[in-house]
Amino acid sequence: MTRRTLARQQSLFDWVWKTVSMVKAVTDGYDEGSPSAWEAERYEDGHGRRAQSSAAVQNGRGTRGRVCRGEDASARNGRPPVRAPSRSSRIVAAAPGGWAAMVMTQQYLAGELSVLLAEMQATVSDPAAACAAVRLRGEVETRPVAALAAVALRALDLINAACWESVACGDTAAFDRQAVVAGELYDFGVCAGLLAER
């Protein structure tokens, strides 16, 4: 395994460990039975006055401005219910960067896979294989992150075929380059959860 692959794995492991630790800390400190900060937020009523928080409503003080948990919307002047965010939303919102961090991670995975595909494209001599690598890069950069696993698997099949072709032609230099890229692609796919370990 090359030094570059080890560095990539370490970076990915560090991020995963940080995220798991953060989520565990948030979930351990969350009490389902207590009013959340989301429920205690106030909002402006239709007359421009500040309404009571949902905590006051739960104690029997006031009915305007309650944060609905299934109440009839007509009780709030025809406004749709304002529901407390789900637990998963609270966890993500409490994370460093919130949803932006998740988007950043998806962009990181797509970017790393695109770089590996570019390296693979540079090692293949067959024009058809090079065109296939270009198409795969296009899919990585345009398709949803859920499609990355299928793209990574197809890329691994493509570089595997290129390695066998180099062996058949006796081109050891090309085989060495392709084998390195194949190893990096496999390691990245396994670490990112895109490929099953073989």
- For residue 61, give its domain range: 54-84
pTM: 0.49
Confidence at residue 106, expressed as pLDDT on a 0 to 100 scale = 77
Q: Are 55 and 35 in contact (CB under 8 A)?
A: yes
Does residue 175 share a domain with residue 108? yes
- Please indicate, yes or no, if residue 159 is contained in any of the structural domains: yes
Helix (H) or strand (E) holding 47: none
- Please indicate, yes or no, if residue 144 is contained in any of the structural domains: yes
Confidence at residue 141, expressed as pLDDT on a 0 to 100 scale = 87
Residue type at 146? A
Confidence at residue 79, expressed as pLDDT on a 0 to 100 scale = 55
Residues of the chain with pLDDT under 50: 23, 26-27, 29-58, 60-75, 82, 84-97, 99-101
Confidence at residue 108, expressed as pLDDT on a 0 to 100 scale = 83
Angle at 195 between CA 190 and CA 198, to 5 degrees: 80
Confidence at residue 80, expressed as pLDDT on a 0 to 100 scale = 52
- Please indicate, yes or no, if residue 153 is contained in any of the structural domains: yes
What span, in angstroms and rounded, lies between the C-alpha atoms of 157 and 117? 12
Does residue 147 share a domain with residue 79? no
